[in-house]
Amino acid sequence: MIKLDRIERNHFFKLFYSLGKILKEMIAIIFASGFLIKWIGFRLGILIAVILLIVLLAYELIEWRENIFIIRENSIYHKEGVFSVKKIEVPLEKINTVDISKNFFEQIFNVATIKIDTGDAKDHGSELKFTLNRGRAEELSNILLKKNTATLKNKYEQESYSLGSKELFIYSIISNSLFKGLAILLAIQQFFEERVKKLLKLNIDTSKYFREFNYTTFYEKIYTIVIIVCIILFVSLCLSIIYNFIKYYNFRMWADNNKICINYGALNKKNYSFDREKIKGIHLKQTILMQIFGYFTIEIESIGYGDEKGEKAILYPICNSQLKDKILKNLLDEFLYEDDFNKPLSNVYFSFFYKKITFWIIVTCIIAFMKPSLILFSIALLIILFVIGHMEFKNTALGINRDLVCVCHNSFNKTQSVLKMSTIQSVTLSYNYFQHNKGVCNYKIILYSSNYGKELKVKNLKDNITEELFI
């Protein structure tokens, strides 16, 4: 049990995180001492380098010692800094999320990093991070969340949802994670060319393969390209599956009274806990394949979750329509939008194509001037742009009632955002001459969000919708 009003510090393991920074500074010291040795002599140069190293180590130790926090009855106090001291005291009721993460090395040493996000959507909150013994981190998380939600009425039953291997396999195929696999493949290829060839002293002339390719027939070229593309896609898919299985291994999302908990990860374990009353909105996302097969990714809008680099505020990675409705009904019923939508009228259908057609004409002129034999590429581009424009028209919608705003947008990657009215910071309307004549405009909705300046856009809708919004 963590005692109240007691000074707590980061685990001593935290000092190991500083070793990388110290090693970088040591390299700079070594180079600097090398120049000093020429001017002041070997012994004096080495002595200065050793003194600087001792100073760096001492500074890191003092910084670790001065970084303290105190759990009080109704607040958490944090102090850090050596020369520039920063103090903060946050009421426990202001805590939005409590996250626990354990990377590979932290798991070995049985420690964990706990991240506490505070504040509200208007001030974007603040962040406290501590590295503790895993048991102490989990205990601290439970204490903070219990105190934060103790005054709330428990109106939810306990629910639990797990992600199986079948769902992860489907997710790897139909989500954009396939591009993640492609990025990994390109990184491996780059590593091979720059590192392995030098190590093995290989001298591979890839240009001769391109010269041989130019002498093949048209059908042989098509056949070769198809085979290469299939191999790349297959390898990318395999890497995507491996990546998702490692990232979302043992994914479990459950409701515990008034909080939602998410736990997943193999090498880098994540544990998120947040008060569901502080969720500002949800995002139902679908790639083109997910739209075809009826799957969704559920993300949430909540301060402190999804604000780290490379992190998404995922509530559930993949679910079909039935499971999506069940999750929302059981856990987030206040975000069930069942009213009418404002959709683009048929008279603005071609408004979704103006910029795309202009782009296509420019590309086609360049191709016709420089490489007429690639005119088939221009036709394929026209088909793709038409599909994008059609899907934008189909997926654009804006719905408003007294409590919620529902925004549907994008083409291949469709997003349906359901947001509380309190999440809306501002709404901007813009239109050109042709839109004004048709009585339509573009909407830009700015959100109070941990991602500062986050905005949603929909276009070619009636220009009187904001009257309902502000009423």
Domain boundary among 392, 407, 422: 392
Question: In this structure, are 340 and 363 located in the same domain?
Answer: no
Residue that terminates a domain, selected from 358, 374, 392: 392
Segments forming the whole domain that contains residue 432: 279-344+396-470
Asked whether residue 156 is assigned to any structural domain, the reply reads no
Q: Is residue 274 part of a domain?
A: no
pLDDT for the residue numbered 304 = 66
Residues 225-248, mean pLDDT to the nearest whole number? 78
Residue 260 forms part of a structural domain: no
pLDDT of amino acid 27: 65
Measured distance CA(9)–CA(98) in Å, rounded:
18
Q: Note whether 178 and 237 are within 8 A (CB).
A: yes
How far is the C-alpha of 459 from the C-alpha of 410, rounded, in Å? 10
What pLDDT band is residue 153 in, cutting at 50, 70 and 90?
very low
Domain boundary among 106, 124, 149: 149
Tell me how crowded residue 422 is: count the other CB atoms within 10 A of its CB. Answer: 13
pLDDT tens for 299-340 read: 888 766 766 665 678 888 898 988 988 888 888 888 888 778
Q: In the prediction, which pLDDT does 452 show?
A: 46
Confidence band for 22, pLDDT divided at 50, 70 and 90: low
Q: For residue 268, is it within any domain?
A: no
Does residue 135 sit in the same domain as residue 28?
A: yes
The whole-number average pLDDT for the span 2-24 is 70
**Whether the Cβ atoms of residue 90 and residue 120 lie closer than 8 Å to each other:** no
More confident residue, 68 or 201: 68
- pLDDT per position as a tens digit, 374-404: 777 788 888 888 888 888 888 888 888 878 8
In a domain, 159, yes or no: no
Q: Is the pLDDT of residue 253 over 70?
A: yes
Least reliable range by pLDDT among 133-142, 172-181, 434-443: 172-181
CATH of the domain at 69: 2.30.29.30
More confident: 358 or 189: 358
Based on the fold, state whether residues 197 and 74 are members of the same structural domain.
no
**In this predicted structure, what is the pLDDT of residue 37?**
62
Asked if 96 and 233 sit in the same domain, the reply is: no
Give the closest residue to 281 by CA, choosing from 325, 337, 320, 323: 337
Sequence length of the chain is: 471
Per-residue model confidence (pLDDT) at position 35: 60
Contact (Cβ atoms closer than 8 angstroms) between residue 93 and residue 118? no
Q: What digits encode the pLDDT tens for the residues 80-121? A: 877 777 777 777 777 777 778 787 777 777 888 888 877 554
Residue type, 17: Y
Tell whether 380 and 310 lie within a shared domain: no
pLDDT of residue 24: 65
Highest mean pLDDT among 209-213, 306-310, 391-395, 422-426: 391-395
Say what the pLDDT of residue 449 is. 60
Contact status, residue 261 vs residue 272, Cβ threshold 8 Å: yes
Whether residue 355 is contained in a domain is answered as: yes
Domain co-membership, 418 together with 448: yes
Task: Provide mean pLDDT across the span 215-229.
Answer: 66
Confirm whether 194 is domain-assigned. yes
Residues 324 and 437 in one domain: yes
The closest of 86, 69, 91 to 78, measured between CA atoms, is: 69
Ramachandran angles phi, psi of 220, nearest 5°:
-65, -35
Give the span between the Cα atoms of 122 and 426, in whole angstroms: 12
Higher local confidence (pLDDT), 358 or 139: 358
Confidence of residue 265 (pLDDT cuts 50, 70, 90): confident
Say if residue 383 is in the same domain as residue 427.
no
Same-domain pairing of 340 and 353: no
Vertex 173, ends 240 and 294: CA angle to 5°? 145
pLDDT range class, residue 278, cuts 50, 70, 90: confident
Mean pLDDT of the chain: 75
At residue 124 the predicted structure's pLDDT band, cuts being 50, 70 and 90, is: very low
285 & 366 share domain? no
Whether 262 is in a domain gets the answer no
Check whether residue 370 and residue 381 sit in a common domain: yes
414 close to 286: Cβ distance less than 8 angstroms? yes
| HEC readout, the chain | CCCCCCEEECCCCHHHHCHHHHHHHHHHHHHHHHHHHHHHCHHHHHHHHHHHHHHHHHHHHHHHHHCEEEECCCEEEEEECCCCCEEEEEEHHHEEEEEEEECHHHHHCCEEEEEEEECCCCCCCEEEEEEEEHHHHHHHHHHHHHHHHCCCCCCCCCEEEECCHHHHHHHHHHCCHHHHHHHHHHHHHHHHHHHHHHHHCCCCCCHHHHHHHHCCCHHHHHHHHHHHHHHHHHHHHHHHHHHHHHHCCCCEEEEECCEEEEEECCCCEEEEEEEHHHCCEEEEEECHHHHHHCEEEEEEECCCCCCCCCCCCEEEEEEEHHHHHHHHHHHCHHHCCCCCCECCCHHHHHHHCHHHHHHHHHHHHHHHHHCHHHHHHHHHHHHHHHHHHHHHHHHCEEEECCCEEEEEECCCCEEEEEEEHHHEEEEEEECCHHHHHHCEEEEEEEECCCCCCCEEEEEEEECCHHHHHHC
- Count: domains in the chain: 4
> How far apart (Å, rounded) are the C-alpha atoms in residues 224 and 175?
27
pLDDT confidence of residue 151: 44
> Are 101 and 47 members of one domain?
yes
**CA-to-CA distance for 286 and 288, rounded, in angstroms?**
6
Q: Is residue 235 a contact partner of residue 183, using CB atoms and an 8 Å limit? A: no
Residue 437: how many CA atoms within 13 Å on its side-chain side? 5
Determine the pLDDT at residue 247.
Answer: 84
What is the C-alpha separation between 239 and 159, in angstroms, rounded? Answer: 32
